[in-house]
Amino acid sequence: MPSTPSSVSRRALIGGAAASTLATASVASASSAYAGSSRSVRSSRSSRSSRPRGNVILLALDGFDREYLDGRVALPHLESLLRRGSLSRSTGVMTSITNPSWTSVACGTYPDRTKNAAYWFDTAAGVARGQSRDSAVEGIGQSLRRQGRTIGSSQWFILQGKGVDYGDPQGLYTQPGGRIDARVDDAIAMLTGQPVDSGGTIMTLPEPPDFLAVYSSDVDGDGHSWGPSDPRLLDTLRETDAAIGRLITAVKDADLWGRTTWLVTADHGMSNWRIPLGSTAIERLAAAGFRAEYVGSGGRVSSPDTDVVFVGGGSIASVHLLGELAGSASATARVAEVFAGIEGVSGVFTKDDQRAMRMAPQYGELVVETREPYALFVTVPAEAFDGRHGGRAELDIPLILSGHRVRPGVAPRSPRHVDLAATISHLLGVAPPAASEGRVLREALLPD
């Protein structure tokens, strides 16, 4: 049923939590697939002393801003996880864009080491780059497989080809598309020994994976379309919570509830924009004697005379100087001065600034950040507002820890994206990925 429109404000984290009851679909019949072999599965697990004492489920909710948990809508299933654990404010990485962020979660280190960048201009190829799944270091999928753990990934794409793949029973990847219900369906099938489509190959896992990642992009997609304050997003949040409820029910019916630790987090937050600054930037740069262009992902500059190009990525834009100006400190300073004088610009980051924030090295001489409700695009949003991210304002995201190995009511201290790979590895009894520099969030976990 559609929600009644209401005022949705961006306020402090966690207001009054409304209680509600939402029926979840039972998967008892699905979990019975393991019933005939449950004794042999348990025996197999107990005979392999190197196996972990529990499972870990990661719910990777793209664009789930921390303020969505401010009580604007009842989310009973997320609240049920909170009652068995904790909610904290976690910190992402710069830039706060999907692929660089999830890569840092998976690898346990910052983009200056993963080398995953988004929305920058490749001067060697002469083309603007969007997002990629590239990583220069080992991720948690590769690390877990190397150490004998099994993995399932329902569309957490950042692991594909890096520890999980289509048709691999030890590291199974599925990509059902659609909305969160389709991803949860695949996750339930992996947990309960039901057939699941893995890139056209029908697979049945012999036992639940040690680590299961479930990715949803609905909140991000709808947030981009409408902006994070639009009342229509309340239904998306309800839809997400209901699907999580189905997964919780499946875990219970499969007799895994008592041994499962849950992590729920996002890659980045979300803020509103409605005023494009791209044309203004081009005009101001022209007045200062530069020939500037805005180029979108996959685009090329239209003129050989262009000497400044910027690629927009939501709250940020990567600015590159071309030709004779490339690497010029004086020209860079003049361009920075122009951008700093534009209303709506909240930061102009030099290469030194970028290194201090541990950003990927592919960005230009400058990275320009805009505040709400501006963005360095050249067209207005399709609706009154659109959602955007990429800057410091979208670094704060929620982290829920819950379940088997978690201290109820004890939140971790200042958690970060880069701490999750180490924490998941610890829960599964193995070493973190090779380049991981995050810490195990021990204060929020029960003793070994």
**Partners of 27 in the beta sheet?**
none
Q: What is the pLDDT of residue 384?
A: 85
Same domain, yes or no: 263 and 280: no
Instruction: Tell me the residue range of the domain where 255 lies.
Output: 28-117+131-271+392-444
At 139-170, the pLDDT tens digits run: 999 999 999 999 999 999 999 999 999 999 99
With a cut of 60, say whether residue 26 has pLDDT above it: no
Q: Which of 333, 355, 380 is the last residue of a domain?
A: 380
With a cut of 70, say whether residue 27 has pLDDT above it: no
Provide the CATH number for the domain around residue 374.
3.30.1360
What confidence tier does 67 reach under pLDDT thresholds 50, 70, 90? very high
Q: What is the pLDDT of residue 50?
A: 57
**Partners of 87 in the beta sheet?**
400
Q: What is the pLDDT of residue 352?
A: 98
With a cut of 90, say whether residue 285 has pLDDT above it: yes
For residues 19 and 74, what is the distance between their CA atoms, to the nearest angstrom? 6
Please tell me the total count of domains within the chain: 2
At 374-422, the pLDDT tens digits run: 999 999 998 889 999 999 999 999 999 999 999 999 999 999 999 999 9
Same domain, yes or no: 51 and 171: yes
For residues 95 and 111, what is the distance between their CA atoms, to the nearest angstrom? 8
With a cut of 70, say whether residue 45 has pLDDT above it: no
Same domain, yes or no: 316 and 358: yes
Provide the CATH number for the domain around residue 32.
3.40.720.10
Q: What is the pLDDT of residue 7?
A: 31
In the predicted model, what is the mean pLDDT of residues 229-254? 98
Instruction: Measure the N-to-C terminal CA separation of the chain; round to a whole number of Å.
Output: 45
Q: CB within 8 A of 200, min separation 6: which ones?
A: 166
At 424-433, the pLDDT tens digits run: 999 999 999 9
Q: What is the pLDDT of residue 51?
A: 58
Same domain, yes or no: 226 and 333: no
For residues 108 and 361, what is the distance between their CA atoms, to the nearest angstrom? 18
With a cut of 60, say whether residue 49 has pLDDT above it: no
Tokens, residue 131: 């997002």
Q: Rounded mean pLDDT of the chain? A: 90
Same domain, yes or no: 57 and 159: yes
Q: For residue 8, tell me if it sits in a domain.
A: no
Same domain, yes or no: 99 and 232: yes
For residues 341 and 285, what is the distance between their CA atoms, to the nearest angstrom? 11
At 301-356, the pLDDT tens digits run: 999 999 999 999 999 999 999 999 999 999 999 999 999 999 999 999 999 999 99
Q: Is the pTM higher than 0.75?
A: yes
With a cut of 70, say whether residue 86 has pLDDT above it: yes
At 345-385, the pLDDT tens digits run: 999 999 999 999 999 999 999 999 999 999 999 999 988 89
